[in-house]
Chains A and B, each alone.
Chain A
Amino acid sequence: MLLALAGAFVYAQQEVVMGDIQRIFYVHLPLAWVGFVAFGHACWAGVRYLQTGRRGWDIASASAAEIGVLFATLVIVTGSLWARPVWGTWWTWDPQLVTYLILWLIYVGYLVLRAAAGDDPRQARFAAVFAIVGFVDVPLVWLSARYLRALSPVVFTTHSIGLAPSMAWSLLGGLVAWSLLYVVLVRARLRLGLLEVRVQALADEGG
Chain B
Amino acid sequence: MTYLFWAFAVVWVGLFAYLYRLVQRSLRLEREIDALSERSRDGAPPSGVGG
Which residues of A are interface residues toward B (Cβ below 8 A)?
20-21, 23-24, 27-28, 31, 67, 70, 73-74, 77-78, 81-82, 84-85, 185, 188-189, 192, 195-196, 199-200, 202-207
Q: Which residue of B lies closest to A201 (CB)?
A: B50
Q: Which residues of B contact A195 (CB under 8 A)?
A: 29
Q: Nearest CB to that of A189 among chain B residues? A: B22
CB-contacts of B1-51 with A (<8 A): 1, 3-4, 6-8, 10-11, 14-15, 18, 22, 25-26, 29, 32-33, 36, 39-40, 45-47, 49-50
B1–A203 touching, CB < 8 Å: no
A202-B18 CB under 8 A given contacts A20-B1, A21-B3, A24-B7 = no
On whether the beta carbons of B26 and A81 are closer than 8 Å, the reply is no
Chain B CB within 10 Å, residue with most, of A74, A85, A207: A74
Chain B residues closer than 8 Å to A73, beta-carbon distance:
14
Q: Provide the bound-state CA to CA distance between A175 and B1, in Å.
A: 23
> Which among B7, B32, B40, B49 has the greatest number of chain A C-beta atoms within 10 A?
B7
Given A192-B22, A203-B46, A206-B47: A24 and B10 within 8 A (CB)? no
Selected contact of A78 from candidates B10, B18, B45, CB within 8 Å: B10
Interface of B, secondary structure class, is: helix
A205 to B45 alpha-carbon distance, docked (Å): 9
User: Do B29 and A27 touch (CB < 8 A)?
Assistant: no
Contact B3–A203 (Cβ < 8 Å): no
- The one of A70, A81, A189 in contact with B3, judged by C-beta atoms closer than 8 angstroms, is A81
Q: Is B7 touching A81 in the complex (CB atoms < 8 A)? A: yes
CB of B36 within 8 A of CB of A84, answer no
- B10/A77 in contact, CB under 8 A: yes
Contact A28-B7, Cβ < 8 Å, known A70-B18, A199-B32, A200-B50: yes
Whole-angstrom CA separation of A151 from B8 in the bound complex: 22
A82 CA / B2 CA spacing, docked (Å) = 11
Q: What is the CB-to-nearest-CB distance from A25 to chain B, in angstroms, rounded to a whole number? A: 10
Output the residue of B39, B40, B50 with the most chain A CB within 10 A. Answer: B50
Who on chain B is nearest to A85 by CB?
B3
Complex-state Cα separation, A20 to B5, whole angstroms: 10
A82 to B40, CA, bound (A): 56
CB–CB B29/A74 < 8 A:
no
